[in-house]
Amino acid sequence: MRPGARVGRLPVARDPGDSASLQEVGPLSRAVDEILSWYPADQPATLRRLRRILEQGRTGGSGRLVVLPVDQGVEHGPGRSFAVNPAGYDPRYHARLALDAGCSAHALPLGAARVVAPAYAQDLPLILKCNGADGLFVGGDPQPAVVAGVEEALALGCAAVGFTIYPGSARRNAMYEQLRALARDADAAGLPLVVWSYPRGSGVSQEGRTAVDVVAYAAHLACQLGAHIVKVKPPSPFLESDAARTALTGAGVPLDTLADRVRHVVQSAFDGRRIVIFSGGAAKGTAEVLEENRQTAAGGGFGTIMGRNSFQRPHGQAVRLLRQVMDIHMAAAASGAREAGVTP
């Protein structure tokens, strides 16, 4: 049974560092209850924070997420990221945008979090990005630097921690071990873990970074490493591995449309029992953004984590686009609930 229908916006939990304030608030949808049931080994504090993210904003209660990530200044540089919309140089602009649009959460690096958290952490779930790589040197086998951890996340009142891995890099095992340490600390602290699983490095071709078999593999790895929420890129029709091509073709797995390929990626994430959201990628036109989200929603994706396609637009345009994207994912959730005979 897939996540159920939206039951309306729920109140925002206050004092996110206080477990008492993170108790269930208001009526709950079966969608959120079911999703939380997929994590039976997690402690109550982790589930309360995950519930807070799932109940935040316009998609609250639907089982779908639309997250605003802003780590592009680190990854790509400030000019490439913010010159087109100079308001974005100020970290507070992005938090305000996430609230105005009704986003589920806002992901950001430590420096920005220190600016944003005191004023926004009570009203907006923040995901502290704990590692990152700058774009000034990009070798054949990249490895992000660990720059924050659970201690900082708790001190700033964040709702979750995030971490990037590069399956396919010769340094992947070091990243997996770092992620294991973060997952252990996050579990002890009651913080959900969000994993950016981006294949790259000498083990995959350039085209293979978004190949459907490689993206599915990356999602599965993130789940096995303890992710509550997995972020991957929308998968292309390309198949990197001959062995995977033989297996998928022999099993008759449909991969023709983006929705088909998303369905395979989601199935690879514990048969859809982990939250898989898809990146927005490079800036593109509104029609293309909306169609991509229609396809990922139709394939059973749990939403999007969309940065440049939102914050590089003027504020009003960004809010409208984010809300259109939310409407697409909420409609897909409601349609799936009706097909399954689920009511809130």
Main-chain dihedrals φ then ψ at residue 193, nearest 5 degrees: -115, 125
First to last CA, the chain: 13
User: Are 57 and 95 in contact, with CB atoms under 8 Å apart?
Assistant: no
Look up 231 and say whether it is catalytic. yes
Measured in whole angstroms, how far is the alpha carbon of residue 143 from the centre of its chain? 20
Strand, helix or coil for residue 278: strand
Give the integer Cα–Cα distance in Å for 64 and 329: 6
Give the integer Cα–Cα distance in Å for 10 and 218: 33
CA distances for 182 relative to 18, 26, 71, 163, 277, angstroms: 21, 32, 19, 8, 21
Catalytic residue among 129, 231, 233, 284: 231
- Residue 168's contacts (CB-CB under 8 Å, 6 or more residues apart) are 199, 200, 201, 202, 203, 204, 208, 209, 214
Give the integer Cα–Cα distance in Å for 288 and 38: 33
Q: Encoding tokens for residue 44?
A: 């109550």
Q: Among residues 142, 134, 137, 208, which one has the least CA distance to residue 169?
A: 142
Which residues are the active-site residues? 231
